[in-house]
Amino acid sequence: MDLSLDTRNEGDWTVVAVRGEIDVYTAPKLREALVDLVNAGRYNLVVDVERVDFLDSTGLGVLVGGLKRVRANDGNLRVVCTQERLLKIFRITGLTKVFAIHDSVGSATDG
């Protein structure tokens, strides 16, 4: 599977650093990881997609699903992304208005 996840806690936040391609084949792995974190009581998540090469609507759906789950527990899901080709996808789909998109993990976990 061309997707790897590295999860670590930083204070109240859990950072999920994603590497590889998030598509119809690999997105279930990310969905499962986010569901597991919420089930474990981690409601403040940062998904770092700086090392993601590809993101399709399945991946976006997983992020939106994750956001809904953490918000249901008064949590938040922030995205770290500076890659223009991924930011373009967030813009086209109107998701820049849905997600707080940060330029670094430090900025995402601050406050």
For residue 29, the minimal CB distance to other proteins (Å) is: 12
Closest CA to 48 of 90, 85, 89, 82: 82
Please tell me the distance from the alpha carbon of residue 50 to that of residue 44, in angstroms, as a whole number: 19
Among 41, 92, 97, 111, binds other proteins (CB under 8 A): 92
Listed ranges 8-16, 38-46, 60-68, 70-78: which one lies at the site for other proteins (CB under 8 A) = 60-68
Residues making contact with other proteins (CB under 8 A): 2, 21, 23-25, 31, 54, 56-58, 60-62, 64-65, 85, 88-89, 92-95
